[in-house]
Structure 1
Amino acid sequence: MKFDTIVLGAGIVGVSVAAHLQKRDRSVALVDLKLPGNETSFGNAGLIQREGVYPHAFPRELQTLLRYARNQSTDVRYHPDAMFKLAPFLWQYWRNSHPRRHAAIARSYATLIEHCLTEHRALAQEAGASSLLRPIGWMKVFRTAAKQDEETRLAERWHREFGIEFDLLDATRLRQTEPDLDTSLLAALRYVEPDSVSDPNALVTAYARYFEQLGGRFFIGDGSTLKDKWAVDTHEGKIEATSVVVAMGPWSEQVTSRLGYRLPLAVKRGYHMHYEAQSEARLNHPVLDIEHGYLIAPMSRGIRLTTGVELARRDAPRTPTQLNAVEPIARTLFPLGPRIDREPWMGSRPCTPDMMPIIGPASRHKDLWFAFGHAHHGFTLGAVTGRLVAEMITEESLLVDPHPFRTGRFSA
């Protein structure tokens, strides 16, 4: 029951860290309260977003802020009782979203994003899961010319700055590409490079199975029981290791705060539901209704409808009002049939106020490592984060400069 490294958290990030360490002949224990991929990594849009060089910023336009303040928007909702606690985080998030600061953040963030496809594809091939990755890209659809022009200018900027490839589809080409979408749509913008995953949970499960095939061990256990020098309680008893990686997503704070780290971690919650498609209708790409803030994606289980952002306490009761608000709109976009799931799924995205993950060694404990805070791009950045953390622990040459993602940037 002694290992070189314990990895706490079996979402896409933790599983990827564990697999990469095990590949490097470390003896690794992976610990979670649930089976791999059954929390935040279960309920995403299934996109590996090569185009995601600019992390999601806080809106700064007064008109948008006033619209969100009414708490009736389809893309962002909030719990009023959580706003006081979230205020310091949101203030820093707003400041970091200033265009100049956001552009500087993007230059650092892009160093991770540029490896997201190659690292996922490599790990998926080794895990025998390449069939789950579909190199089809994804698209934004437009109902108004103003939104089309705004998003096109944005895509052109990303292309100039980072070489992001995209394709503009007029109404005719859109109907040829997605014949079952609403025929009143004006156009679409398709990002051509990203992969779409047909079953995110199945991909995490495949990575975990690969980790075990390499000799790693998975334990059901509570990461919050972590003790110094390093030990964790599991259903099979106490396990120990010389190092530990905290990759518990929105629950990472349970460990870090107890160890004396004051990291500004908050959550953005989101919901999803699966639907049958009516008659012979077919959805070929993940599609974002940019003007209403929801996405539909073809999944192995059916058509997945994912919502935007809910600002709330991590463990507050579920309030799927956004899902109920966008479902009628989504039914006009694509002929959705009956709901498949018994109830809406809900997950929490772990977020930092500068929109970048925390990756690297802890500042005050030897052999303690952090890998969390990936916000909307946890699934996208899971594989490259796994490789980067493994390279740092084993003191190899590094694929990416980890300095922008260091713990100490928050004076922890």
Structure 2
Amino acid sequence: MQQDIVFSIFLVFAGATVLATFALFTRQPVLIAYIALGAIVGPYGIGWIEHPEQMEEMSHIGIIFLLFLLGLDMQPRALLAVLKQASTVALLSSLVFFAGGFGLTLLFGYSQMDAIIIGLAMMFSSTIIGLKLLPTTVLHHKHMGDLMVGLLLIQDMLAIFTLILLGVLKGEGDMPVWQPFVAVPILAASCYLIVRFVLLPLIMLFDRYQEYLFILAIGWCLACAEAANLIGLTYEIGAFIAGVSLATSPIAQFMAISLKPLRDFFLVMFFFALGAGVNLAMLSDVAIAAICLALMVLALKPVTFRVLLQNSSERPELAWDVGFRLGQISEFSLLIAFVAVESQLMSDKASLLIQATAIITFVLSSYIVVFNYPNPIAVSDKLRRD
């Protein structure tokens, strides 16, 4: 039975409350509860929510707000400095991850095209997992937070390039491969000018009205996200640029605090939609390959980041920390799988392999971080850092 949106949201948050309570009592990460809930009540489970597409579209807003809040705490000069260091590490690591995914997929008998696309999907790490499990003090005020943001932003650019490449392979690509690299500075310059000559004067004039500042922040975030999408970038990159352009504003921290509950609301939906989208009946067809691919990712990514970051003069402890926090594949990997299947470049079985690998790496990577590194949802008081 197809449900209306109110009933669907009720199921998500009522169910999340029950499973999150159980997860906390059993000392498990609450992210696992949200994913499990999607699998249980989604179309391949009980079926109480037969069409989770609406929830998935809404959940994407949470990622947009997440990147906007990151930008609010990232000064432009600090961002440029960390991008210079992170670019080499991001590019070299992506080559390693592609080679690992491509080679292992071929060993399991998948076609060469399936192996190429799966290899591409393995290159990226999850922005949501990586940054949600990073303490706010580390994310906003320490070098490791800046470094992780830089790595993830460069991976976002590579993901855009990958999506363009898939369009070229199908023969329908109407966007030149250089366009994203030109679009970023144009969007950044435009945002800077609008903030300086329009938004900051408005903020100074109406800074006593908190409701107005809240609406302005949301409107600016979504406007830049939509502008980025129109010129060939992702919503996330547009939202991040929107945040960075406002970072020097005196009310940037107020905006960040105001939007945090809204971000968390939509992120719960993201993890629910992730669990609801997995076809449980077909998992047995890809189970062994998915487990092997996930274990390869979980082992290869921390080691690769550790070696590359240490060679970039980072401390071994920081290099391991970053490596384990980025030791999963990405929500972009799921998008690549969707686009490739829609373009008939990849088999449904290979797409399911990417989805299953994403679930496994999300879950196991969360366990590794929650039980070993400081994070906001740690079950241990010693590791819990907001």
Query: Which TM-score applies when normalising by structure 2?
Result: 0.28
User: Which is richer in helix?
Assistant: 2
User: Which is richer in strand?
Assistant: 1
Query: Which TM-score applies when normalising by structure 1?
Result: 0.27
